[in-house]
Amino acid sequence: MSETHDDFEPRITAFVCNWCTYTGADLAGTSRLHMASNVRIIRLPCTGRIDPLFIVKAFERGADGVIVSGCHPADCHYTSGNYHARRRFAVFHDIMQFIGVDPRRMTFSWVSASEGAKWKDVVDEAVRSVRELGPFEAYRALAPDAGAASPTGEAKPAPAATTEVTP
């Protein structure tokens, strides 16, 4: 999975906090920084409001990658939302990795309102690594109609294809 998928435009969903990253992304825009245009931003009040299930839902609906971004530690508008989020995402990050999701599909960052340039870097890097990974076909293969919607009535679609690798 190391070859670059040049003709592939990743779809990336970004869940960002209203106070820091959203403003930072806005700054990146008004500063006319050139960056990849693959990211759809969803603005939430705080990273503490971002349920890991949002990320799962984004993958379900066809995202190839996800960005979660909010205020730096100590800067949370609600004092501690980002601290709570940090623990939640740490656990989520690790368990998703355990079930076999490449962590490069999930970018977590702290981007403040003044860090327009950092936002550009985060976006470009996320797009670059997801482009390298290719479309998240493995997740799409889970869709109910993706595999064997066989007219014979076979109940279970075949499990996702496995790559032959020796441990």
Partner 1 sequence: MTEAAPVYTGVDDLRRIARELLEAGDVRVIIGYENARVGARPVFVTDPADADKLIFDTRCVHNLVTYLNPRRDHVAELGKIGLVVKGCDAKAVAGLLRESQLKRDDVVLIGVRCGGVLEASELPAALALTPENVAPRCYGCDNREPTLTDHLVGEPQPEPPRPVMTIDERVAALDGLPAEERWAFWTEQFSKCVRCYACRQVCPLCVCEQCIVEKTQPQWIEPSAHPRGNVSWNVTRALHLAGRCVDCGECERFCPVGIPLSLVNRKLQQIVAERYDYKVSDDPENVAPIGDYRLDDQQEFIK
Partner 2 sequence: MTDGTDTTSAARGTAASSGPPERYFLSEADLRSLVGDLLGAGTEVIAPLATDVCQSPSAVAASACTLPGAAAVDIDYRPLAGADELDLSRGLPQLSLKEHFLPEHEALCRWKQKGTTVEVEDVPVEFAPRVVLAAKPCDSAALAVVDQVMNWDYQDELWNGRRAATTIINLACPVIDESCFCTAVGTAPDDTKGADGLLTPVDGGYVLEVTTDKGRAFAAAHAARLSDDVPADTRGRQAADERAAARARVAANLEIDAASVRDWIGTHFEDPLLASIAIRCNGCGACTSVCPTCHCFDIIDEEEGVGRGTRRRCWDTCQAPTFTLHASGHNPRDDQNVRYRQRINHKYSIYPLKFGEVLCTGCGRCTRVCHAGQDIVEILQAIDIAARRPGEAAAEPAPDAPEPVTS
As measured in angstroms, the least distance from the Cβ of 49 to partner 1 is 14
Q: Could you say whether residue 138 binds partner 1 (CB under 8 A)?
A: yes
Query: Cα–Cα distance between 83 and 86 in angstroms, integer?
Result: 5
As measured in angstroms, the least distance from the Cβ of 144 to partner 1 is 4
Reference 48, options 6, 24, 18, 22; nearest CA is 18
Size of the site for partner 1 (CB under 8 A): 49
Element of type H or E holding 55: helix 52-60
Note whether 140 and 56 are within 8 A (CB): no
Q: Could you say whether residue 75 binds partner 1 (CB under 8 A)?
A: no
As measured in angstroms, the least distance from the Cβ of 167 to partner 2 is 5
Selected from 29, 53, 114, 137, the binder of partner 1 by CB under 8 A is 53
Q: Could you say whether residue 62 binds partner 1 (CB under 8 A)?
A: no
As measured in angstroms, the least distance from the Cβ of 72 to partner 1 is 10
Query: Cα–Cα distance between 80 and 90 in angstroms, integer?
Result: 16
Q: Could you say whether residue 130 binds partner 1 (CB under 8 A)?
A: no
Phi, psi of 51, deg, nearest 5: -75, 135
Reference 104, options 137, 132, 124, 70; nearest CA is 132
Q: Footprint of partner 1 on residues 90-119 (CB under 8 A)?
A: 90-103, 107-110
Query: Cα–Cα distance between 99 and 167 in angstroms, integer?
Result: 16
Residues contributing to the site for partner 1 (CB under 8 A): 1, 52-53, 56-57, 60, 73-74, 80, 83-84, 86-103, 107-110, 122, 125, 138-139, 142-144, 156-157, 159-163, 165, 167
